[in-house]
Structure 1
Amino acid sequence: MNGRMTDVAIVGGGLAGGLIALALHRAHPEWRLQLLERGATLGGNHRWSWFSSDLSHEGEALLEPFRQIRWDDGYDVAFPRRRRQLAAGYRSLASEDFDSGLKRLLPPEAIRLNAGVAELDAAGVTLDGGERVRARTVIDCRNFSPSPHLLGGWQIFMGRHLKLGEAHGIARPVIMDATVAQSAPAGNGGAYRFVYVLPLAAQEVFIEDTYYAEDPALDRSLLSSRLDRYAARHGWAEGLPVGHETGILPVITGGNFGAYLASIREPGVAVAGARGGFTHPLTSYTVPIAVENALAIAEQGDLAGAQLARFCEDRARAHWQRTGIYRALGRMLFKAAEPERRVDIFERFYGLPEKLIERFYACHSTLPDRLRILTGKPPVSIPRAIRALAGKGQPLTMERMT
């Protein structure tokens, strides 16, 4: 591969990198692409979900070739004092279907698995074994890089896919079941906790225990036992586990984004995905943002590498600017509410108009939305809310990762 020049080398075959590769291939099928993934499959071990209201028609078209599970009758949420069914459809994509879809849609020579990257620069990528992939444009889509320049907490989860002996009878996804005990592992500063439930088929269900906490400690034994209890509570204790996933995702509440970008910047290299700041700061949702980014990059794909790098950085800065409301809510979640009362923030939020909730998840909240979210009777004390909004939070550093 040290010979012929690659048009675009994309480092990282997760959601962001895979969708950028697909969007570029659709827009420029004659180009030579290299999607370089350190792992043995594309997408890792994940399940990505999104609301039908999150995507434009172009975004839906980009994802349409992938096998998805679709629910068109809305979804449910449950809190101690509020239960609600909302109308938006819901979609879910498993990483194995993402992997098989990209292998079907991209030229075979475009995908390089088990291709760890030692270095990258504006002129190409050097793999762990020393092989050099020369490229006109390099796009870095590797994982989020913990940084002292960013502040916040963590969203920690464990999910389990169960095959049951009989039908579960659940018609719609349950995006948040926050009727569970609001507790975190000892010493983790308290948490907002909920269980996420997807009825994948008549006799298959995916349950995920999720909590927001100040420290990134994933207690596998605790989360597994919580899933056991939740399954037993619903009569699924005898279900056969056929898949699982775990994760620790950043919940960004503030920081110096310019300094963060400077710390990860390689001159002339475009940065996208979570590494580039393209996530929902509070929910960690990535699908609508990754789709929008992939389409935008495909439209600008003929830019020289340095120009595309500036284009992506400008988009990242604009995304940071318009997502300030979600970082403010994150500060309130971590700093304004007692641990057992953090559920009140989400419970109040789910009493707001449906269209506002839809725009919230898609990162398209309007100015009236922001005012509506932050005004009215607060679920926390006003003095604590003011202190939280004015506060800084804890650094999202590697030293805090476990």
Structure 2
Amino acid sequence: MHRSPHSPPPSAPSPASPDSRTEIAIVGGGLAGGLIALALRKRHPEMNVMLIEGQDVLGGNHRWSWFDTDLDAAGTELLAPFRKSEWQGYDVHFPAYSRKLPSIYRSLTSEDFDAALRRELSQQSIHTRRDVASLDSSGVTLTNGTRISARTVIDCRGPGPSKHLTGGWQVFMGRLTRTDRPHGVQKPVIMDARVDQHDAYRFVYVLPLGANELFVEDTYYQDDPVLDRSALSGRLDQYHAQHGWHGEILGGETGILPVITGGDFAAFQAENRIQGVGRAGARGGFVHPLTSYTIPFAVETALAIAEDAELPGEQLAALLETQARRHWARTKFYRSLGSILFGAAEPGERYRVFERFYRLDEMLIERFYAGKSRFAEKARVLIGKPPVSVIKALGALAGTGAPLNAHKETIG
């Protein structure tokens, strides 16, 4: 529930002098880096900022989605420049029941993310197709030898595998299709778990982007970080055929995301630390450990950095590390639920955990995704007849989990 199938056309490399100077260098033009650059532009329009990205476009090939209530007024204002899809209400389907919920749901593609940032930021700010060789507290060195000196460096590159974190994996394949006739889907289907589970918690995610345009994603909460493109593509074909959707495939995406259930966060921070360099996004640990949700945390971090942007780089880096530790502590509840999901539920029965969860109050569900569950809501999630063995749940909570240190794709 994140991402985008669009891929904007390649852009020419941004002009840059052999050596340059900036106040803040942001390395990584994904969601976290792009929003930081935008927040800085809005709060400090006079500040010299460079957003450095190795690919042709900003945001990669993703789709991000969120509930209206995930963001406060400042967060909503930060995302105002982006063209978004929006729906009033969404559906969920499980073997035992279906439910309609009235929440406002929004979605943003990386194509629109890139376009808005190029409108909002100065031409001197965006530097795409710039591969980074190294970075340190005083600047960034590109693979072509160019040195960009900076007062503050913020690392927003995606995280690599880590032996210090434990959990399972969220594996997905999405497809954008222009149907040959109106598809008839009026609202998003956030989870359709009425599908064969294939030894994982499997659900299909559907977004109606137009009368003849659908984004459909097949997602698995599974033990092994393996993405079999052939198998998932075939299952998407089958799901489309079952619903009578036929047409032209416009694009797609795949991903393997960690579902974090525990680990040594201090060791994870040390593993990624470059002295004096700030870290944000997933590299800094600012994610929802169970759902891989990112928008609320990326927005919150961007606004916080803009607030303290005039601090010396090393102080800002230390502040971000402290905020990341607080985020880790704040999200312990979700890691515990992830431990139960992977450690206590049989893979083919994991859907029962979410089937029970989606019977709960609408606002409880929204705050859960935003990582803002209240104490009483956490209790409500746990109270009642559990969908897994209590003994197995206690054992899972006491266990260590599998390290998140490898993933692979297979063509099939």
Structure 2 counterpart of 1:208, one-letter code: E
Partner residue of 1:33?
A: 49
* Distance of 1:323 and 1:88 partners within structure 2: 23
Query: Is the deviation greater in 194-203 or in 82-91?
Result: 82-91
Partner residue of 2:153?
A: 138
Aligned to 1:381, which of 389, 393, 411? 389
CA displacement 1:89-141 (0-9 Å, x = unmatched): 11111111111110111001111111111100000000011110000000000
Contact 1:254–1:392 under 8 Å retained in 2: yes
Q: Is 2:231 the partner of 1:222?
A: yes
* Distance of 1:266 and 1:40 partners within structure 2: 26
CA displacement 1:171-205 (0-9 Å, x = unmatched): 1100000000111xxxxxx3100000000011111
Q: What is the TM-score normalised by the length of structure 1?
A: 0.96
Q: Is 2:347 the partner of 1:332?
A: no
Q: What is the TM-score normalised by the length of structure 2?
A: 0.94
* Distance of 1:125 and 1:199 partners within structure 2: 42
* Distance of 1:201 and 1:144 partners within structure 2: 34
CA displacement 1:314-334 (0-9 Å, x = unmatched): 110011001011111111111
* CA-CA distance at 1:62 after TM superposition: 0.7
Aligned to 1:255, which of 252, 259, 263? 263
Contact 1:158–1:224 under 8 Å retained in 2: yes
The DSSP-based 3-state class of the residue aligned with 2:176 is strand
CA displacement 1:193-224 (0-9 Å, x = unmatched): 00000000111110000001111111000000
1:276-287 counterparts in 2 under 5 A?
A: 276-287=284-295
Partner residue of 1:186?
A: none
Aligned to 2:244, which of 222, 226, 235? 235
Aligned length: 393
5+ long unaligned stretches in structure 1: 184-189
Please identify runs of 4+ aligned residues in structure 1 that moved more than 6 A: none
The DSSP-based 3-state class of the residue aligned with 2:385 is coil
Contact 2:20–2:147 under 8 Å retained in 1: no
Aligned to 2:207, which of 188, 198, 214? 198
* Distance of 1:239 and 1:307 partners within structure 2: 54
Aligned to 1:126, which of 132, 137, 141? 141
Partner residue of 2:7?
A: none
Structure 1 counterpart of 2:348, one-letter code: E
* Distance of 2:375 and 2:21 partners within structure 1: 46
* Distance of 1:291 and 1:244 partners within structure 2: 26
Contact 1:356–1:365 under 8 Å retained in 2: yes
Partner residue of 1:343?
A: 351
Query: Is the deviation greater in 304-313 or in 1-10?
Result: 1-10
Structure 1 counterpart of 2:109, one-letter code: A
5+ long unaligned stretches in structure 2: 1-16
* CA-CA distance at 1:152 after TM superposition: 0.6
Partner residue of 2:254?
A: 246
CA displacement 1:147-187 (0-9 Å, x = unmatched): 1100011100000011012211111100000000111xxxx
* Distance of 1:139 and 1:339 partners within structure 2: 39
CA displacement 1:340-385 (0-9 Å, x = unmatched): 1100000000011111111101110111111111222100011111
Contact 2:227–2:408 under 8 Å retained in 1: no
The DSSP-based 3-state class of the residue aligned with 1:337 is coil
Partner residue of 2:196?
A: 181
The DSSP-based 3-state class of the residue aligned with 2:124 is helix
Q: Aligned-residue CA RMSD in angstroms?
A: 1.0
Contact 2:162–2:405 under 8 Å retained in 1: yes
* Distance of 1:160 and 1:317 partners within structure 2: 36
1:2-401 counterparts in 2 under 5 A?
A: 4-71=20-87, 73-183=88-198, 190-236=199-245, 238-398=246-406, 400-401=407-408
* Distance of 1:372 and 1:323 partners within structure 2: 17
Structure 2 counterpart of 1:344, one-letter code: R
* Distance of 1:401 and 1:329 partners within structure 2: 25
The DSSP-based 3-state class of the residue aligned with 1:108 is coil
Structure 2 counterpart of 1:372, one-letter code: R
* Distance of 1:258 and 1:357 partners within structure 2: 30
The DSSP-based 3-state class of the residue aligned with 1:380 is coil
Contact 1:2–1:134 under 8 Å retained in 2: no
CA distance change for structure 1 residues 160 and 4 in 2, over 3 Å: closer, same or farther? closer
The DSSP-based 3-state class of the residue aligned with 2:227 is coil
* CA-CA distance at 1:3 after TM superposition: 5.0
* CA-CA distance at 1:55 after TM superposition: 0.7
The DSSP-based 3-state class of the residue aligned with 1:115 is coil
